[in-house]
């Protein structure tokens, strides 16, 4: 199964870049085909409905949409900005949500975060769920927040806390298994005639829901 993974941070020394690297290693050990992206690849202006009407989606949003459509699952490591979702990520969600068919719908997503603080960005994770689930993404119930990220990684990029490493591995395994099971029915290649029929029903239902989104 293909998984798109990125840290929603533009900073070169981002702790969340380190964390997405750890998750990527686990996914590849499980047999996943990981498309590890840099968030700079998806640079886009602030969302502007007039600009969208005149020019369509900007190149960065189109690049993200294209990578998403090639992967039924995603992992996003997001920093916490002022107790909430990172602004650049929210802007990307808003831009991509204007594409049709709705790219977020039916995609399995696992959210992780780290910060130097004692709660590891958990408030930002909860806020990030809201627009993703509102756009129809299947956000994995468990989220991983790594506290004290400034001292949580070894020189070779591994987690120094064994208990945290075990918890992350268990969550990634659960996410991978669930995403793999859901993918054929939502946004993957159907394995049987019955799956294909069910997939068509799901696609129709998701598109009906997408019509209630603002245009």
Res. 100: pLDDT tops 80: yes
What per-residue confidence (pLDDT) applies to 214? 47
What does the pLDDT look like over 160-188, one tens digit per residue? 999 999 999 999 999 999 999 999 887 75
**Residue for token pair 């459509």:** 69
Residue 210 has pLDDT above 70, yes or no: no
Between helices 193-210 and 162-186, what is the axis angle to 10°? 100
Answer for the pair 129, 111: CB distance below 8 angstroms, yes or no. yes
pTM of the model: 0.89
pLDDT band at residue 131, thresholds of 50, 70 and 90?
very high
Three-state DSSP at 118 gives coil
More confident residue, 200 or 144: 144
So where are the chain's domains? 2-210
Model confidence band, residue 4 (pLDDT cutoffs 50, 70, 90)? very high
Token digits of residue 75 = 């992992």
| pLDDT (tens digit per residue) in 102-128 | 999 999 999 999 999 999 999 999 999
H helices within 7-106, ranges in order?
15-29, 49-55, 59-69, 87-96
Q: Which CATH number describes the domain made up of 2-210?
A: 3.40.50.360
| φ, ψ of residue 99 in degrees (nearest 5) | -75, 155
| Residue at token pair 């005639």 | 193
Mean pLDDT of the chain: 91
The answer on pLDDT for 202 being more than 70 is: no
Q: What is the pLDDT of residue 174?
A: 97
Gap between the Cα atoms of 87 and 85, Å rounded: 6
């Amino acid at each position: 199964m293909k998984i798109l993974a990125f840290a929603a941070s533009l900073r070169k020394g981002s702790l969340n870049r380190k964390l997405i690297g750890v998750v990527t290693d686990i996914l590849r050990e499980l047999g996943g085909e990981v498309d590890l992206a840099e968030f700079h690849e998806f640079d886009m202006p602030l969302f502007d409905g007039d600009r969208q009407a005149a020019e369509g989606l900007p190149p960065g949003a189109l690049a993200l949409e294209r990578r998403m459509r090639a992967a039924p699952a995603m992992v996003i490591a997001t920093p916490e900005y002022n107790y909430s979702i990172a602004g650049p990520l929210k802007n990307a969600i808003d831009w991509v949500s204007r594409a049709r068919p709705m790219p977020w719908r039916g995609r399995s997503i696992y959210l992780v975060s780290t910060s130097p603080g004692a709660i590891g960005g958990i408030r930002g994770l909860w806020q990030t769920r809201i627009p993703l689930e509102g756009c129809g993404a299947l956000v994995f119930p468990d989220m991983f927040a790594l506290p004290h990220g400034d001292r949580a990684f070894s020189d070779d990029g591994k987690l120094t806390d064994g208990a945290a490493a075990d918890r992350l591995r268990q969550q990634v395994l659960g996410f991978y298994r669930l995403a793999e099971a859901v993918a054929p029915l939502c946004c993957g290649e159907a394995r049987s005639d019955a799956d294909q029929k069910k997939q068509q029903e799901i696609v129709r239902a998701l598109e009906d829901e997408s019509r209630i989104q603002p245009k």
